[in-house]
Structure 1
Amino acid sequence: MNTTIKPPKSFWIIAVIALLWNLMGVYQYYLGTYELESLRESVPADQFVIMESLPAWYSIVFAIAVFSGLLGCILLLARKKLAVLLFALSLLTVLVIEIYWLMATDILQVAGYGAAVMPLLVIAVAIFLYFYSKGAARNAWLG
């Protein structure tokens, strides 16, 4: 018999914050994919050139990262174990896009090492959400 246990209030707080975080990721995907030209004036020209030159597969993997993370959050709020799998997919794809961004583009040479802060934060949050969801499943908060 599979029984779920009522999660603590902190679970709901973390799940809602994670949902908001992933909604911001979806917005960044939208901007970078469909509204790239609107960023031209707000991003230094040399950084914009890097953003413009990203390969097509990058956008596809970015979409998988943000939408699997968003769906993972929704399923976490619905207390479904499938959230763990979606957070694993999100983590894997986040690692691909952020490592590519940092290592295969000239962003660090162009913008300096401060440009690594957000990608590293995104990776850290993805790692946290994956392991948090695994813990939630192990604690029987997810059914």
Structure 2
Amino acid sequence: MAYLAQAYMTDEMKALLPEAERALYENLPTWYTAAFALAVFAGLLGSLALLIRKKWATLLFIISLLGILGQMTYNFILSDNMDAYGLEGYIMPIMVLIIGIFLYLYSKKAKTNGWLN
């Protein structure tokens, strides 16, 4: 939902945001949006693949992690996101990274143990 909300945010919606947040949304690079989409949709497909016990779930989680790392690079290093959001801006990105790593490791263990076809 976060990706879709961001991707389809109208100018009217952006106008309701605080100035610092609006500036961030208006200046997002295209590669960031692509990394966000890659992380979200590869993670979604990886989760579905895990549910139906497919080995390629692990590959999809690797792709999702690469997208997450791209996002984190931008969020923590290349932008002023943390200035706009403060300490609370660290919580969700770190949780996303932890969940992404867990899903990858879980799918890898499931693959190793033969739980996936």
What TM-score, normalized to structure 2? 0.91
- The within-5 A match list for 1:40-119 is 40-41=15-16, 43-119=17-93
**Structure 1 pair 84–45 and aligned structure 2 pair: CA distance change class (3 A):** same
- The within-5 A match list for 1:129-140 is 129-140=103-114
Count of matched residue pairs? 116
In 2, Cα distance between equivalents of 1:36 and 1:117: 26
In 2, Cα distance between equivalents of 1:36 and 1:131: 37
In 1, Cα distance between equivalents of 2:47 and 2:4: 19
Cα deviation code 1:104-128 (max 9, x no counterpart) = 1112222222211111111111001
Q: Which runs of 5+ in 2 are unaligned?
A: none
What TM-score, normalized to structure 1? 0.75
**Which one has the largest radius of gyration?**
1
Structural RMSD (CA): 1.4
- Identity among equivalent positions (%) equals 41
Higher relative contact order (CA 8 A, sep 6+): 1
Q: 4+ residue runs of structure 1 moved beyond 4 angstroms?
A: none
Q: Which runs of 5+ in 1 are unaligned?
A: 1-26
Cα deviation code 1:79-112 (max 9, x no counterpart) = 0000000001101110111221121111222222
